[in-house]
Structure formats: C-alpha cells, structure tokens
Structure 1
Amino acid sequence: MKVDAPVVVRALRLTHAGMVWEQVARAFWPLAALAAVVFAAFWLGLISSLPAAVLPWLLGAAVLALVVAAVRGGLRFGRVGEAAALARVDATLPGRPLSALRDQAALGGEGALWQAHQAQMRARAEAARAVAPDAGLNRRDPLALRLAAMVALVMALIFGGAGNLGQGLSAVAATFRPPASQMPDIATGPSWEGWAEPPAYTRRPTIYLNALPEGEVLELPKGSAVSFRLYGEGAGVTQDIGPAQGNEAQAPAFEAMQSGVIEVAGRRFDVTVLPDAAPRIRPGDAPTRRADGRLVQDFTADDDHGVVAGSAGIELDLASVPRTFGLAIDPEPREPIALELPMPNGARKEVQAQLVQDLARHPWANLPVTVRLSVLDGIDQEGLSEPMQTILPGRRFFDPLAAALIEMRRDLLWSRENARRSAEILRAVTWQPEGYVDQPLYLQLRAGVGVLEAGPLTPEARDKLAEALWQAAIQLEDGGLADALEAMKQAQEKLSEAIRNGASPDEIQRLMDELKEATDNYTRMLAEQGQPDPADRFTQNQQSQVVTGDMIQQMMDEIQRLMNEGRMAEAQQLLEQFNRMMENLQVTQGQSGGQGQQGQGQEGNQSMNRLADTLREQQRLSDEAFREMQEQFGQGGQQGSQDLAERQGQLREELGQQQGLMPGQGSEQGDAARQSLDEAGRSMDQAEQALREGDMSGALERQADAIQSMREGMRALGDMLGQGQRGAEGPDGQQPGQEGQQPGGQAGQAMRDGENGLPYDRRAQRDPLGRQLSGNGNTITDGDPLAEGIDPARRARDLLDEIRRRSGERTRPEDERDYLGRLLDRF
C-alpha cells in the first residue's frame, strides 16, 4: 500500500535531505577545513609576509592537499536513496508501520482482520517525524580540526581585509614571473606609496602622491607632513623642502617648509609651499564702559586659514598716571591683565566679536592703561594690534564719602606704603560721625584704621581691607538699590538654571514669581530715587536704554507664555535678553498725554525697525536657500541645508522676542499684527524642519509664507501707529511740542506710502524677484518690496518667463541651457 499522508511525505523529505548532508559532511569536511585555512591566510595577509623562497613550496603543498581532499571526498560520497530515508523514519516508529503499509497479504487480503491491521498501521504512520541528521564528525575528527579552521575563518573576516587578499595574490603571482634577465625591456624598480597631509587647521584633504598626474606641481600649505612607505630594497627619497621627521629608512617623513623638489624611485615632484600669512586683528573704537562698569571692546580678526585663539593684554601706562597724592610713590609690581578673546564656533577665517569683562574692582580701574590685542593661527603665528592708550573702564562714585573710600582703596592697592596716609584720612572722615556716617559703617571704618596702624600691612590683609572698602562704598552710593539688584540677578540665575536642568513646572513657576517680585522691587527703588543708576551718569554721551514699566511687564508675560507652552529654549533666550536689558535699565514714570503717545510711537518705530531687519534677513535667507537648491542639483549635499536650518531657527527665535516687545497689546491693529507674526513664526518653524530634511522646495514655500505674514503684520503695526499719532495731533494737525512733524508717524506713513502710493509701473525698476535693480533695496518706504511686495503670482510668472527666455537663447552655454531646462521641468 502506498504511503501518501502529508505528514509522512514531509518527514521522509526532511530526513532524506539530512542524510544527504551527512554524506557531504563526512566526505568533504577535510576539504572545507583546508579551504577555510587557505582563505584565512590570504585574508589576514599571512601569505604576503612569507619569504619568497618558501611561498612556492607552501602554495604547492596547499594545492596538493586540496586536491587530495577533494578526490577523497568524491570517492567517499554515496548517493542516498528514498528507501534508506523511509527505513530511518520507519525505525523510529513502533511496529515499523511504513514497511507494514507496503506489505501485500498472501491470503485474505480483503478480510476484516487485514483491513483492521492496515488501519492500525496508518494511525501509527501519522506520528512520523523527520529524523535529525548526525554526520558523526566528533568520531571522524577527534582533534576538532574543523572547529579550528572555522575560528580562523571568523578571525580573518573580522580582522582581515580585501587589501591583504590582493597583496597575497600579487605575492603568489610574483613567484610565477620569469627572472629579470629574461625580461630586459621591463622596468624592475621598487614600489612605494606617498602621502602629503596639510595641517589640520587648514581643513584641506590628504593628497595621495601616487595618484598625482606626472609633471603636476604639488602645492602644499606650510607645515604639511609628507610621508612615504617604501617596499623593497635599494629605494630612497631625496628632498630639499624641509626637515626630516623620524629616522625609519623604509618610512621617511618630513615637514614641508619651503619650495623644492622630492625624488623617489625615479619619480620627481616639484613642490610649491604656500606661505601661511600671519593673522591680523583690528580693534574697534577705544574700550567703552557699560552702565555696570564692565569693559566693552569690539574687534575683528582674520587669517587665511583660520584664527585659533586670541587674547587682550592690558598694562599700566605709568607715564600718563597723575603722580599726585597716593599715586606719588612708585607702585608695587603687578602682572599685566590677560583676557581671553571670545571666539565663535566653526570657521574662523573672519571673526567679528566683542570682549566684555568686569574690571571695575581692578587696582588700575579709572587709570591710564595700554591695551593691545593679539591672535594666533594654527602654527602659532601671532598677529598684534597697535597699542591703544585709554582709561581702564571702571565704576564712578559720586557720593563724597564713597569716592573717598574708593580713592583710599586705590591707594592701598597701588602700594602698601600708603597705609599710614590712608589711616589718617579714615580718621578724618570718621571724626564726629553723628548724622554723617551710620553706626555700623563707622565701626567698620574704625576697624580699618586699626588694621592700617597695627604694623606692616600684609598682602592678604590689604586685599581683605580693600574688599571691605569697596562694599562700604557701594552701600553708600546705592543704598539698598545694590541689594535689590543683586537679589534680582540671583533670581534670574536661579530661573535660568532651572530651565536648563529641566525642573518641574511647579518649581519653574515658583522661581518665575520670585523673579517678578525681585524685578518689581528693583524698579520701584529706581523710581523712588527719581534718577537712573549713578553708575550711568558718566555715559551721557552714549545712547541709554529707556524702558517703561509696561515694557518690562510685557516681556515678563512673554517669558511666562513661552514657558507655559513648553518652549523652554525660546524662554531661556528671551530671559537672557531680559537680563541684559535690566543691566542698563532706566525707568520712566508719570508719562501721560502726548508724552505717553510719543513714547508709544518711539516703541512702535523701534519695533518696526527691528521687524524690518528681521524681514530683510528672512529675504536674504530665502535667497540663499534658493541658491543652495540650485547647487544641489546632481550633488545631493545636505551640509548647506543644515546651516540654513540653524539660521532659520535663530531668526524664528528673534521674531518671538520682538513679539514680546511690541506695543498696542489689546488693540485691534496690535492683535492683528501679533496674529500675523504668529503665523510667520509657524511658517519659519516649518521652513526650519524642511531645511533639516533637505526639502529645499518645501522650505522655500514656507519662507515665502513667513515673508508674506510678516508684511501683513507690519502693515497692521503701521496702521496702529498712524492712528496713535493722529490721535495726538493738535488743532493745526501737528503733534504738541513738535512743529512741522507730519501726522501718522514715520513708520505708519511709510506703510501707507507703500500701500497707497505710487502705482507699480511708476515705482523703481525691479528684477523678477521684486528687488530694485539700483540702490540697496532695503528701505521700508515708497513701496519697498520687502515691506509690501508685488503680487506673488505675478512675480512667479515673471520669473518663469525669464527662465524660458534665457533657455531659448542659443548663444548661452550648453550647460546653462541644460540647467534652465531642468528648472522648467521641475517647476
């Protein structure tokens, strides 16, 4: 009877396959092990390291072993029949049902007993399962040579490489080449490899000298490392371009310091060493002083490869010091001031930055000094600026007693020989202190007299006394204002730290409440004084920052809103801007009527100007994105997109900060302007995401939406400012106290001129993108396209028509016409 149950057929097939594998493994495992060992030797580079005399014999033995193993395996391999598979499966079943089902009854084949027997055997056959193969390699390979060969193969695949295989095959092929005497026409020079690696700071790639075309001049930056690897005997390198590095005969290396020639194995390289120019640094105007007494120094630096570091050195200009009173004696030696210049991340070929440092407590504060800036490049070449003579910025004190204490402090730090003179002055200022010096301060000053008259003054005691005099002068000058300022700064630092560390919302809200309370306290004390910070009085020739209480509250509300929305990075940046603003704060109170409206107009004009700058920057960024898309055709580069995405994100954050400072909150036009700028911010965020994903076309669309939304926001802001100015006009149409000033304000009038002024065909001639063909094209007046713009659809049609016109000009280069054709296919 035929066995055709599916489970039985499957078991027989799998068992048959396993038995075939057993035959292959038993017959050819020596061949597989030998092949794995030979491959591992080639892949690990062992063959190329063998002596040339041994290699032919070893190769012949390996080939012979492989042939013997293959013949032996072929002789031992036997064909496996289906009957053998059936017998193996049948042996695992009770009563061998598979064989029983194949039997034929001699008598009574149709009887009930035989049918019952067959049914019983079929039931047992249903339990048939495939038998696992067993090649018995443990008995045939007791030394586990097959496992050793497998380990060698795995190690070769992990640690070897195709280069080793190529070298091994080359070494084998070399054993079959005829002797050199039989090949007189073939050159037999030694092989070599060479590399020229420019210094890392130049950001140039390494040059493979073997790939350099014959006769081409090798141009290298000064300080490049040139190295060779020689293969074989009798080869050498001669050069006259720089000192040698190392003393390995087979791996000569040297540094390129001058132009010359390199010769190796008959190959000549003419080398031109490019000089590395020293960096340059140019300071801006003389150092200025901020309201908090900090030094501010602008500078620009550049280098042909990049500036690495920079510093500022400040020395006392002793010849210019007025040698009177405590400065009459010679000063104690003091090290020059060394400040590290801030350097941006990334490329530093051109650096424009600002040094800000608090030197108000330095002994040379408010004394003549010499300032000199320096920068270094990658090979430690130094660039120096011209020395500048200036007064070291420091805080000024206007309270008489505070000024006297600061002068004594300066004299003590100038020289400890001034101790007796300072003690006499302290005795004079503390004589009859009633109504003039508070009791706690009187006790501190009398203690200082005791220190000065106790004997020789040590440097440690001098520094401690100088700090006490500084604190006393600050207390006299500012009263409780200094404490309020310090409390506000601490609250700002705590909130910034909490945002950076991802604190809980409850903790951030608590710290925000503390900052609001400290800020209110500080501004209230400023207002009670009725004057700005006394440290600001000396900067009357500088433009001060006037901030109203409403502006401070709006900025705090904007920080709160950003934190509530989870935009912690933007909140952190706006908080830092708030901190900088409060450092130079002046608070104005009691403005009403025309003055209040004038202040609003000033705020509005400032907001309009900042928005105009942001709009111009967005337009510039969009133009760069368009050029990047052009350059990416056929290249697939993404680095430029990532840089543009970073700039787009910064621009979006700046727009968010400007929204928090906009006037007109609660008015119809002000809310409309904020809504338009919100839409612009969302479009900028989408453009940033598209740039990060390399979707330049999508980024351009989102940037265009952002530009349009910003224009609408500026229109609404201009209308609001125009209404505010018209409401402040007098009977003669002029604002009170401002003769001849036109109603509507400059910003509002500019927006109306762009909206209702000259028609398009009478405006300045523009290119298809709507930009003026002459002038700077950045003004927000007389219908500038940055503020108003022509119809976007019309501009797109003009641009498409221009592309079609240029693509049809046969006089243009073929590459340009092909590119224009691709643009037409894409758009």
Structure 2
Amino acid sequence: MADRPTLTPRLRDRLGETLTLTQVGMIAERAARAFWPLWSVLCVVMGALLLGLHELVAVETVWAVGGVALVAALVLAVRGARRFRWPRRRAAVERVDATLPGRPFQTLLDRQAVGAGDAASAAVWEAHRARMTKRLESARPVPPDLDQSRADPFALRYAALLVLTVALIFGSFMRVGSVTSMGAGGPDLAQGPSWEGWMQPPGYTGLPSVYLNDITAPALDVPEGAQITLRMYGEVGALSVDESVSGRPVMSDEMAQETAQDFEVVRSGQLAVDGPGGRVWQIAMIPDDAPEVARGGGIETSYEGEAQIPFTAADDHGVVAGEARIVLALSEVDRRYGRAIAPEPRDDLTVALPMPVTGDRAEFEESLVANFSQHPWANLPVRLELSVEDARGQRGLSEPEILDLPGRRFFDPLAAAVIEQRQALLWNRDNAPMIGQVLRALTNRQGDLFRSEVQYLRLRGLLLRMERLARYGLTDEQQEALAQALWDLAIELEEGDLQDALERLQRAQDRLQEAMRNGASDQEIAELMQELREATQDYLRQLGRQQQQQAEQNPDMQQQMNPQDMMEMSQDDLQRMMDRIQELMEQGRMAEAMEALEQLRQMMENMQVTQGQGQGGQSPGEQAMEGLADTLREQQGLSDEAFRDLQEQFNPGQQGQGQQGQRQPGQGQPGQQPGQGQGGERGEQPGGGQLLEESLADRQRALRDELNRQRRNLPGQGSEAGERAGEALGRADEAMDGAERALRGGDLAEAIDQQSRAMEALREGMRNLGEAMNEQQQQRAGEQGFAEGGDPREQRDPLGRNSGTTGRVGTDEGLLQGEDVYRRAEELLGELRKRSGEADRPEVERDYLERLLDRF
C-alpha cells in the first residue's frame, strides 16, 4: 500500500478548494446533459404565459396545452433523474490530475515497486515524489464542458431561451396571473374580466408610451394632450371606467362600461378601472405652455431697402412656425397731400418668420429679412405683430408695435418726388389727376431737373399714359403697371451714372460733416457712416464701369499713365480708413475725423480703378469672358423680345398696356409731342410684325457672327477644358443658326426654344473657359518671377491679399485682419441666413446654404 503523501496545510486547503470547484462543475455538466429538455419546455411555457398567448385562445385549448406540457415535464424530469449521476471525489481528482504534467496525484498515491530496499533507489523515488508534490501547486479547477451540441443537434434549447428572452422584454408578469382565473369554476370564471391600457404622449414631447397594466404606483405624471386608451375584456359591465382627466361631462353607466374607451388628458384628476383586477391612479397633468415671441433689438435697413427685424421666440417643446402680421396704422399716418383721402382697402401684409435650420427651437433668436420697399406702406407707420405656433397648435403673440415699415430711401430729390407720387397712386387711384399735375410740374423745365433726355421722355410718356387711363378709371392691373414703371424710373434717377454716384457720395460726406459739427449721437453717426460706405461702393462701381468703357475706346490710355505717380489702395484700405473716421467720431475727436474725411473726399475725387492686370489692361482670357458675357446678355434680350411678340400674337394689344416703353393706342402718329411715341422701336409701321421678325433675325445673325469671331480668338486651346469650351460654343452657334431660320420663317415658338439652347450652351462655354484659364494660370505659377505689370509680391488679389512670391492666387493670409474679422463674419452669416430663407431661390442652392449654416 502506498504511503500517504506529506502535504503542507496550505497546499492541502488549496487542493481541497480546487477539487470542490471541479466537482461542482461536473455536477452542472451532468445536470445540463440530463435535464436540458426539461428546462427548455419550462422556458417555452413561461414565455407563452408572459406574452399572454393563453388569452388569445379558448380556455379548453389552454388546458389541453397545459396538460401536455405538464406530462412532458414529468417525463423529462424522470428521464433526467435516471440519467444523472452524482460525481465522486475520485472523479474530480482524476479530472484535475489529467490537466497536470506527470499526473502528480496518481504519482503520490503510487508505491515503489522495484528497488524499495536499495537506499539509492529509494532516494530517487523520494526526489520524484517531492517534485510531483511541488507540481501540485499549479493545480487549477477544471471548467465544466456544457456543450450540448451532440445531445441537441438542432439547438432547440436556444430557441426556448429566445422565446423566454422576448417574453421578458415585451411581455408582462401581470398576464401570468390571469391564467389562475381559468379554473373549473364555470364559463364566467374561465373568462373572467380583464383589461389593458396605454398612455400615449404627444409625439413632439419625445416621451415613451406607458403600458398602464405595469404601472402600480398610485400617482402618474402625464403631459397635456396625452391619449389614454383602455380596452375591457370578458363580460360587458363587469368592468367600468371612472375618470376626471378628459373634461368629458358626467358619464352614464352605459358609457362608463364601454369596452373600448379613448380620451385625451386635458387636466389633472383621477383615473380608475372599477371591478375585479381594477386599478386607481392620480393623474398629474404636465401643462404644455403656449409659445412666446417678442421683438428683439433695433431694425437695420440696407441701402437697397432690405430690412432685418430681429425677434426672440421660446416654447417648452419647440416652436414649429411663425409669421409677422403688418397692418397700416392709419391713425399715425400724416394725412396730407396724396394721403388726404381714404386709402384703398388692402389685405394685411403677412410674412413667414424664419426658423432655425438646425439646433433646438425651444429658445432662439432670429431676424426676419425682407424688402418692403415696393409695398404701398413702405416708410409709413404700421402696426407690427409677431405670432408663433407650437406643435399642439397653441399660438403666442407679441405686443403690437407701431413703427415705420422699413423701405428704401431715395436721396436724389427728383427720384424722391417720383416715389412720393408712386405711393400716392398706390394709396388711392383717385389721386391720379393730382399726380398728373405734379408730374407736369416736374417736366415743365427739362434742363433744370433731368440730366438725361431719355429719363425726361420716360416720365413724360408715363404722365400722358396715366392721364389717358385715368379718364376711364384705372384697373388694378393698370395701377400696378404704372406703379412699377414709376419705381423703375426712380431707381434709374437714384442710381444714375458716375456723376450721380459722385453727387450721392458728396451728399453723404456733407451730411456726415454736418453731423460732426452738430454733435450727433452714436446711432446717427453709425447710420451716416453706413450711408457713406454704400455711396462709396456705388461710386467705385460706376467709376470702374466708366474707366473700362474708356479703356475699350482708347487702349493706349492706361499706357500713358506713369505708375510712379500713382498710389494703390485696395477695398480693405478704404474700409479701414472709414472705420478709423467712425472710431475718431465715437471718441469725440471731431477735428481729426473731419480732417480724415476731407482726405477721403480728395482721394475719391482723384481715384482711378484698375482691373488687377497692372498697366496692361485686361488679359485675353478676361476679355474673352467679358465678350461672351455681353453676347449672353444680348441673346437674352433677343429672346425676351421674341417672347413678347409671341404673347402679342395670342393677346393683341394687351402686352403694350402694362409695359413701359411699348406703343399705346393713339401713339406713334405724326405730330406727336415728345414722349408720345416711345413704343415705336418695336415696329409700328404697316406690316410691322413681319418687319419686326426680319429685324430680330438680322440681329440674331449679327450676334452669331460676333460669336464666331470670339471663337477664333478663344484662349485655352489645347487643354481639355478649352476643348470643351469650344464644343459648347459650337453648339451655341448651331442653336443661333436655328433661331435665325425660325425667325425668318415666322415660327417664334421654335425661335425661343433655339435661343434657350444657345444661352445654355453659352453658359456652359463660359464655365469651361474659366476652368481653362485657371489651369493655364496654375501652369504658369512658379515659372515667372514677375508677372506683367510689376513684382507679384507687390500685387494684391481682389480680396486685398498679397498674391505671394510665386504669382499664385491663394496665400496663407487671412481674408481679414484686425478688428473687422468678427463684424465681417457676422455679416456673412447673416447673408447666408437671408438667402437660405428666400423661397424663390432654387432648392439645390438653398440645400447648399443650409449645409454651410450647419457647419458654421
């Protein structure tokens, strides 16, 4: 018999724990193999009860299935008990010993069979036993093997576990208890009363639905507008509903016992299901507050009359829409001159408020951007009222505010007079005779007021037309057409030419100097500075346009200039100079501000605008792009005239009545006064229709010849983009040829179609030509140290940045430096918001603008 191994107490305890855990694992392993069919059946039965499947079938079916399940469970339990064998300690020792090298447990239980009497042999044996004893220290519990794939090749145990998992997630333990009522107490007891209920919050709250059967708490918080749904089963009348949360009148017993009830929570109260298994809850309604809206800061109006009206809005669940309602404040209007009589009735002006594209709408600030300059109430007192709406349909209103409806202001006296008469015409068409007298006074002495004979003749023609139409009473269409013609004339008088722009700039400077002398407020100074900036930009545009025309007429003009006698200034330099003037005025240093303003005045009077190509004028690519742009504009004009003539064919005499500059009945006859025959340019001779079509065809032919000349001198030849530009312009040439043939054949519809194709091809050609020019410019970058006109290190791009030493367009400089960064960023962001809210823009463009707003 083998000697017992000598083990330390610590090792003995550790081996005992290892063998015990291994034995427990073996018990679990054998139990799983013996009883997996039993617990699979139990999982399926429990899952069916949790899901309430027993409530969907007849009670007989429930009892039948239950009996089968019970018998199956008993059979499987007996089978599992017979197959289960309790693992002995010896089996745990053998399992652990099999995981250790040399099987140390078995070695310690063995005895020396050979050489037991030999001392040397005995010493070797004892050394071997000591080594095996030390190896026992690495013994670890052996995990059980719970794999049942051989006993369950179809994985039925996992299907049963899945059923139980789904039931635990979507089922309810309350349904398990209902199976106890399906006893043998008769049909009434077998199909006893039961109920179900749900609370569905409004979708805009973002709250989850609540299954009332699972709510055992006596109190329940419910948002206003939540929908309560109750369903009663079993015998009618066994269950009834008592509630005071819906605001319904006192219900009769028949109404309370209805098996299907749906109502909305409109107040706090009690909800009870009376009867067997009933429940009572105290409902605390969470009110849905109405949204709020208020006007924000000051209203800003641009030179063109575009107004930004800030406002703030808030709601507990978010604002979904809003609008601004504008009503004429008649009691605040100066009722003199053209407004002495009662105004014509007009609908209230309603404008949708812009909503944030992204972010939370629970509380936000936005600005309504719109241009009301052409509205009859522009610059008149109005009552502004803002309203917003939440998802529940509740509306919030702002305090009504009396203000002048923002609109464009006209600084030219003649333009302001024309606008005043336009507003009088829109105020009431009965003012037409009085307006005629005022316009006659304006046209009495042409040379004193009008800088252009064309403007005089336009106003004279409008005067005669208004007087003739007023004799028979103006219709709505005639009133609108005359008002539009007066507006267009006032814009032309206000914008004018270079001299007009210079006068406007000088008026802005004079007004600013006057404000300095009179100690104007900071707000007035800011308004006058904005007027000065806009007048400066307009003057620079007009100056650049005039110098471009002069350069085309006299190409040697710029070469005669001495660059050494010139000082270059960018748009940023002018902007910084005007910012400095405003800063000096705000600091009260009026003498220095007036000196700087005088320097600005002298600089503007002596300024010349360059086109960014040094002294060499425009590059060939820019000249080609400009020529194609002119061709496109002329083609658009031809298409517009052809379209008007097509309308005249279907509605004779109607087109001329609503369009300025068209022939009117009785005009164009010999002996007319100046201004009466302004429509003769569109063919008033006998057979004028045919002559007009021939004229349009000749002009189309001339435009096509001009395009062919431009194609011969097209830059970018040899590049892929240049080839595409040539192909596009070739298609434009073919379309122009088709339009010419259609015009000579009298087919105006076909001519308009061909002209549209020509314009599309011209646009595509210009895009491709621009790409070709960019490619050429990139190829030249780095190959020349000095571009035409001087050192590229001293040149600036259109944004006022240095173009770098390699002549490349982009630089590492920021677009703006100094304190203007944040102001300019806010202006750009406001412009993006304004354009994204304009519904007449293409959807693709608005989507792009919204993506930009999402990023910034």
The two structures have a TM-score, normalised by structure 1, of: 0.42
User: Rg: which structure is higher?
Assistant: 2
The two structures have a TM-score, normalised by structure 2, of: 0.41
